[in-house]
Structures are given as structure tokens and as C-alpha cells.
């Protein structure tokens, strides 16, 4: 993919020319959270018109593919992860015709498109769920979900003790069509997200059809949401936290692999490669690799890396374990630092505990943004030099940080509301992007917009707009552009192997291919690195073109061209 031809011919589709390319093996994939990317119609919410206008910016940034968070018709109870119709675009974002136009335009710029498919649950406004509610207990329509009578004398207690990921019970009681209290339904996330029953063939068939619906429109891959969760123990046994049952009643069950084998067959039925990418939120690389067997997903997000603290030994351990787990299944590793669910890494790395726990909790924590920014820039050069593919989350190329002072009344995340504010939730990483100008909405919405951005932007982002950073030597945007340009020109930086080199404590130094070296200093002092070479790029103090002294400044990374 890296050298995909660019073309202005409106009929050319340069990304679909090479049927043999397993493009996901070294792609850099940029995550577009549509709602907060760019607002084309001035209603304060990002939309497809906004994205289409910015496609040249994304092509110029140098990424290979765009992953879109759910853009489907949805009540947005969980920001679109509550899908009411998997084949329609939400009117707030645009139309199906606009999505089709976007796919074509992106392809002509050499950008592939990945859509987000949510198999574990639908929206409570999905027609299947509305039918199931209306049909009442015992009806076939209810078998597409997990309806059960309650426990207790009058069914007033939930059917089992499972908890929602977002807090509270994983069950909500329904009313019967005649208004009397009825059965409960399972939702491992918010109550507006009823879990689908994957034992039912209609669910399986419909999702395979949804995959074909999007692949037929030229989509190059799907990101599979909450991929470990769709299969459940149909007996719905209580979960014993002290002695977790094995296999787990709703995570990582053997049956879940059947689903993805069938999806892989759908993907493989296309002549040009379509990727299956899993959100496999597990902290053991070996368990993750089980999803990457040759007839299942192609790649999965690496949460171990994302969760890891800014610590040389911990990172080396995670990188080594990741590569070791992926090698036997011949799947490429992935490297990701931020996404729409986690604290932005500029903020994480500016905190005393710089890890991000698997529990996904976000609180008010003292944060040194200057330190976090330095480390984030170094981490970017680290990620982009590791073997495999990498994910970027919109706005990280501008150096954006987590916004943690959003007023409670404006918070939208069900995680915040279902925990009564105990967990701040994920709104802080979802604030609309700053594009230009010196005050909000920073070009996110056009002149004459009828509404403010759906979440308020910090005034200090005036210094971090794409316009302010464009062409400015040393800006984070230019660091990303240069890194991506070098990576594209040097295939050795993508798929392949890595060789660790001896280096002082608190540093990571490794070779890629014959002559490229990445060196990272995770300490607060400058460190001598005994690797001679030519400086290609630096995240820190060294001036490009000034040569490589062998001295790596505090909290920084370099890419070198060297000889053995
Ligand atoms: C995934 C998504 C997250 C969503 C959840 C439920 O973890 O990334 O945003 O809330 O699944 O669909």
C-alpha cells in the first residue's frame, strides 16, 4: 500500500488495483470519529460533508486508511455504538449517497476505508428489538436477543448477576404489551444496547449480509467492535468474581471464533483483500493471537501496548511479548496509543501513573502537559517504527490532550451517567477538532454555524490548530507528516522483524531492516547512544539536518540511518 499510485482520474481506484496486497500488514490507519472531526452543515456536529472536505488533509498527512467509528442510523445513546440500522447513515452525519461518494473520493486519493461493525448488541430502536418488545414473552422475535424472566417471587430481580461494562446491572426489565411488568433483557453495555443472540441463525446471516453490503460499496475492511463478547453461555450462569468460571460466560468463548471464521469467508470471497480487524480487548497477547489464526481476523488492536506505562522495561516486555505471540499465527502486530475510549496519550504520559488500566476509568488527575507532549511525540516515533501496522486517533497529530473540565451537564458518555459521575467517561477524548483560527469553534464548524460544537473546545487549542501547525518546523503536525513520509519511503519500517540493540537503562534501541535504527530515551536526562549514523528525524531537541551527536535528549526519540 505504501507506494499506492495517486491519481486525479475520477474513474481510477488506485487502492483496488493489487489483489495480492495484504495492505493491513503495514498500513497506518487514521481513526475518524465523525461526530468530532469536521462539521460541514454548521449544526455543531461533525458529518460526512466535513470529512469529505478534509480528505486532502488526510492524504497529505500520509496515512494509508481511515477507520470510521459507527456512522449508522442511531439514537446515539452510546455515540453510535447503539445501531438502529446497519445499512443506513445517520441523518445527522449525512446520507448513504454521501458515504458512497466519500469512499470513491478517498480511494482516488489512495486512502482505504474501514467501517465499524457492532455485532454484540444493537440499539433498542433497532426494528428487531421493537418487534421483540411488541410481540411479548415467548415470541420468536425475542429469540434474537436475550430475554429472560426475572428471579424472585414476582420476577422482580434480574435473571443473573452480570454487570454492565458501563456500571449497574446488565439487565433491564420490560413491560409486557399489556403494560404489566414483564421479562428482562441482557445488555452488557448501556440499557439502550440490547445484546444480540448469536445462537440464532438469523443474526448470523444478517451480519454476513451487512458485511457484504459495505464490501459491495468498496469498503476495504471492518473493525469489529467488542469482538470477544458476542458468544455467551446460553445457560446464563452467575458470574463468580472471586473464582471466575472457565470458560467465561460472556467473554472470549470458543464459539465466538465460529462467527469470525464465517466473516473471514465473506471477506475472502472478494477478489481484492478486505480486512477484518478486531477490537479484542484482552491483556494477554496469546489470547489475542487466538483470534488471528489463518482463517479468522487479520489483525487486532494491541491494548497491552496502549495500556503500558511510559517505562522502558515495561514497553520492551510488551513489544517482545506482542511480536512473539503474533509470529506463530503469521499475523502483523498493531500499535495504538489513543482511541475514542481512552485518555489521550499526551495526558496519560504527563501523569504519575502513565498507564491506562483495562478498566477504562478516567478521573481528574494532575497532569503535566509539557512532559506528556514530549513523551507523546517520542512515543509516536516508537510506534511508527515497530513491525506491523499502526493506528492514529484523530487530533493526536496536532498534539491534543484529554479535556477533563467538561461541565457535567454537557457530558454525553453513558459511562459517566451510569456511574453517577464516578467515572468521568470518554467525552474528554472526543472534543471536536481545532482546524483554524484563534477561537472556538476553530474552524470545526463553518462561518454562520447555527450551533456551537457539541462539546466545548479549550481556548488553549488556538495554538494546536492544523492551520497554526501547518508548515511550522518542529510542530507535532509536521513531525507526523515527516515520520509518515519516511515510513512510506522505507518499507523496512513496516512489516518485518526487529532486532534489539544493547542500550543504557531507560532507553529502547532497535534496528529495522539493514540500516534503520529507532532510539528512544524514556528518562529525564539526556543519554549517550553508541550508535553512529545519520539523523533522519527527531521528536526532541535535535534540529533536523544538524547531524547526530549520539546524545539523545530527555524524553525523546530519533530515527537514524546507520550501518552495521
Ligand atoms: C467498544 C467501543 C466503545 C463502545 C463499546 C460498546 O469498546 O469502542 O466505544 O462504547 O464497544 O459498543
Query: DSSP letter string over 477-492?
Result: HHHHHHHHHHHHH-GG
DSSP 8-state symbol, 31: E
Average pLDDT value over all residues in the chain: 93
Torsion on CA atoms 510, 393, 71, 39, rounded to nearest 10: -150
Examine the pLDDT at 6 and tell me if it is beyond 90. no
330-368 burial, b for 16+ CB within 10 Å, e for fewer?
ebbbbbbbbbbbbbbbbbbbbbeebebeeebebeeeebe
Share of the chain above pLDDT 90, in %: 86
Q: Which atom of ligand 1 is nearest to the CA of 414?
A: 10
Asked if residues 524 and 530 have their Cβ atoms less than 8 Å apart, the reply is no
In this prediction, residue 21 carries a pLDDT of 84
Q: How far apart are CA 506 and CA 96, in angstroms?
A: 50
In this prediction, residue 287 carries a pLDDT of 86
DSSP conformation letters of 104-163: HHHHHTT-EEEEEE--SB--TTSHHHHHHHHH-TT-GGGGGBTEE--BSTTS-B-SS--B
What are the backbone dihedrals phi and psi of residue 151, each rounded to the nearest 5 degrees, phi first?
-90, 180
381: enclosing H helix or E strand? helix 369-385
d(CA 363, CA 360): 10
CA 165 to centroid of ligand 1, rounded, Å:
10
Active-site pick, 90, 124, 192, 225: 225
Q: Where are the alpha helices (DSSP H) in 138-283?
A: 201-216, 256-268
Cα 137 to ligand 1 centre (Å): 29
Distance CA 494, CA 64 (A): 12
153 is catalytic: no
State how far the Cα of 104 lies from the Cα of 111, in Å rounded to an integer.
Answer: 9
Per-residue pLDDT of 334-344, as tens digits, reads: 999 999 999 99
**pLDDT at residue 15 above 80?**
no
Per-residue pLDDT at 494 exceeds 60: yes
Residues in CB range of 513: below 8 A, 6 or more apart: 490, 491, 492, 493, 496
Pairwise CA distance, residues 270 & 30, whole Å: 24
Q: Give the atom of ligand 1 at the shortest distance from the alpha carbon of 121.
A: 12
Q: CA-CA distance, 327 to 266, in Å (whole number)?
A: 25
Q: Which of 341, 391, 423 gets mutated to test ligand 1 (max ligand atoms within 8 A of its CB)?
A: 341
* Per-residue pLDDT, 358: 45
CA of 177 to the centre of ligand 1 (A): 31
- What local confidence, expressed as pLDDT, does residue 281 receive? 85
User: Which residues share a beta bridge with 276?
Assistant: 222
CA 414 – ligand 1 centroid, Å:
11
308 CB neighbour count, 10 Å cutoff: 20
Q: Quote the CA–CA distance of 556 and 535 in Å, as a whole number.
A: 13
Secondary structure (3-state) at 56: helix
Is 81's C-beta closer than 6 angstroms to any atom of ligand 1? yes
Determine the pLDDT at residue 1.
37
- Can 279 be counted among the known catalytic residues? yes
| pLDDT tens profile 207-225 | 999 999 999 999 999 999 9
Out of 124, 279, 296, 396, which one is annotated catalytic?
279
In Å, how far are 99, 167, 275, 307 from 483, measured between CA atoms?
A: 30, 40, 24, 23
Distance 159 CA to ligand 1 centre (A): 24
Q: Is the CB of 542 under 6 A from ligand 1?
A: no
For the Cβ of 394 lying below 6 angstroms from any atom of ligand 1, the answer is no
Mutate to test the pocket of ligand 1, among 226, 343, 361 (most ligand atoms within 8 A of CB): 226
Centre of ligand 1 to C-alpha 23, Å, is 25
- Determine the residue of 225, 343, 417 to mutate for testing ligand 1's pocket, defined as the one with the most ligand atoms within 8 A of the Cβ atom: 225
449 CA from centroid of ligand 1 (Å): 30
Say if ligand 1 is within 6 A of residue 393 CB: no
Distance of alpha carbon 171 from its chain centroid, rounded?
Answer: 27
Q: How far apart are CA 470 and CA 12, in angstroms?
A: 29
Q: Whose CA is nearest to atom 6 of ligand 1?
A: 81
Q: How far is the CA of 506 from the centre of ligand 1 (A)?
A: 34
The span from the CA of 170 to the CA of 149, in Å, is 14
Return the higher-pLDDT residue of 163 and 287. 163
C-beta 37 within 6 A of ligand 1: no
What are the Cα distances from residue 229, in Å, to 12, 188, 225, 256?
A: 39, 9, 9, 8
Instruction: Select the highest-mean-pLDDT range: 236-245, 310-319, 413-422.
Output: 310-319
Give this prediction's pTM.
0.95
- Closest residue (by CA) to atom 4 of ligand 1? 81
Q: Which atom, in ligand 1's list, is nearest to the CA of 166?
A: 10
User: Mean pLDDT over residues 474-486, rounded?
Assistant: 97
C-beta of 29 in contact with ligand 1 (< 6 A): no
Question: What whole-number distance in Å separates Cα of residue 232 and Cα of residue 195?
Answer: 10
Q: What kind and span of H or E run contains 53?
A: helix 48-61
CA–centroid distance for 93 within its chain: 19
Amino acid at each position: 500500500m505504501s507506494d499506492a499510485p495517486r491519481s486525479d482520474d475520477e474513474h481510477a481506484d488506485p487502492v483496488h488495483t493489487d489483489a495480492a496486497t495484504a495492505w493491513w500488514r503495514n498500513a497506518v490507519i487514521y481513526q475518524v470519529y465523525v461526530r468530532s472531526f469536521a462539521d460541514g452543515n454548521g449544526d455543531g456536529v461533525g458529518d460526512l460533508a466535513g470529512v469529505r472536505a478534509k480528505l486532502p488533509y488526510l492524504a497529505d498527512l500520509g496515512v494509508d486508511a481511515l477507520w470510521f467509528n459507527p456512522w449508522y442510523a442511531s439514537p446515539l445513546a452510546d455515540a453510535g455504538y447503539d445501531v438502529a440500522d446497519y445499512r443506513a447513515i445517520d441523518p445527522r452525519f449525512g446520507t448513504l449517497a454521501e458515504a458512497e461518494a466519500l469512499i470513491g473520493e478517498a480511494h482516488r486519493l489512495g486512502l482505504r476505508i474501514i467501517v465499524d461493525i457492532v455485532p454484540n448488541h444493537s440499539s433498542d430502536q433497532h426494528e428487531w428489538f421493537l418487534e421483540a418488545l411488541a410481540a411479548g414473552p415467548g415470541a420468536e422475535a425475542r429469540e434474537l436477543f436475550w430475554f429472560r424472566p426475572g428471579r424472585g417471587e414476582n420476577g422482580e430481580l434480574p435473571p443473573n448477576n452480570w454487570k454492565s461494562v458501563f456500571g449497574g446491572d446488565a439487565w433491564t426489565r420490560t413491560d409486557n404489551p399489556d403494560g404489566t411488568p414483564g421479562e428482562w433483557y441482557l445488555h452488557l453495555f448501556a440499557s439502550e444496547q440490547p445484546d444480540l443472540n448469536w445462537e440464532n441463525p438469523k443474526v448470523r446471516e444478517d451480519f454476513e449480509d451487512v458485511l457484504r453490503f459495505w464490501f459491495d460499496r468498496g469498503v476495504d475492511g471492518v473493525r469489529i467492535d467488542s469482538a470477544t463478547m458476542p458468544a455467551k453461555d446460553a445457560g446464563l450462569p452467575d458470574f463468580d468474581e472471586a473464582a471466575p468460571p472457565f470458560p467465561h460466560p460472556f467473554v472470549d468463548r470458543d464459539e465466538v471464533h465460529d462467527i469470525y471464521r464465517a466473516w473471514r469467508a465473506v471477506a475472502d470471497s472478494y477478489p481484492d483483500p478486505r480486512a477484518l480487524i478486531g477490537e479484542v480487548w484482552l491483556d494477554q497477547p496469546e489470547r489475542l493471537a487466538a483470534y488471528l489464526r489463518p482463517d479468522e481476523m487479520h489483525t487486532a488492536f494491541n491494548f497491552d501496548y496502549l495500556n503500558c506505562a511510559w517505562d522502558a522495561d515495561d514497553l520492551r516486555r510488551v513489544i517482545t511479548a506482542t511480536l512473539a505471540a503474533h509470529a506463530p499465527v503469521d499475523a502483523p502486530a498493531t500499535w495504538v496509543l489513543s482511541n475514542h475510549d481512552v485518555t489521550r496519550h499526551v495526558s496519560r504520559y504527563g501523569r504519575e501513573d502513565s498507564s491506562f488500566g483495562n478498566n477504562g476509568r478516567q478521573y481528574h488527575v494532575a497532569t503535566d502537559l509539557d512532559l506528556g507532549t514530549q513523551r507523546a511525540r517520542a512515543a509516536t516515533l516508537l510506534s511508527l517504527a515497530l513491525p506491523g501496522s499502526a493506528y492514529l486517533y484523530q487530533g493526536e497529530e496536532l498534539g491534543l490532550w484529554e479535556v477533563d473540565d467538561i461541565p457535567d451537564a454537557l457530558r454525553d458518555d453513558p459511562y459517566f451517567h451510569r456511574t453517577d459521575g464516578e467515572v468521568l467517561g470518554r467525552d474528554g477524548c472526543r472534543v471536536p477538532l481545532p482546524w483554524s483560527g484563534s477561537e472556538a469553534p476553530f474552524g470545526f464548524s463553518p462561518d454562520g454555524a447555527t450551533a456551537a460544537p457539541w462539546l466545548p473546545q479549550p481556548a488553549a487549542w488556538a495554538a494546536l490548530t492544523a492551520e497554526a501547525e501547518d508548515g511550522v518546523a518542529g510542530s507535532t503536525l509536521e513531525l507526523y507528516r515527516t515520520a509518515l513520509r519516511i515510513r512510506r519511503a522505507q518499507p523496512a519500517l513496516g512489516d518485518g522483524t526487529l532486532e534489539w540493540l544493547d542500550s543504557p537503562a531507560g532507553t529502547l534501541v532497535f534496528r529495522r531492516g539493514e540500516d534503520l535504527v529507532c532510539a528512544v530515551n524514556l528518562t529525564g536526562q539526556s543519554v549517550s547512544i553508541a550508535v553512529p549514523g545519520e539523523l533522519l528525524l527527531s521528536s526532541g531537541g535535535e534540529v533536523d539536518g544538524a547531524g547526530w551527536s549520539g546524545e539523545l535528549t530527555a524524553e525523546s526519540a530519533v530515527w537514524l540511518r546507520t550501518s552495521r
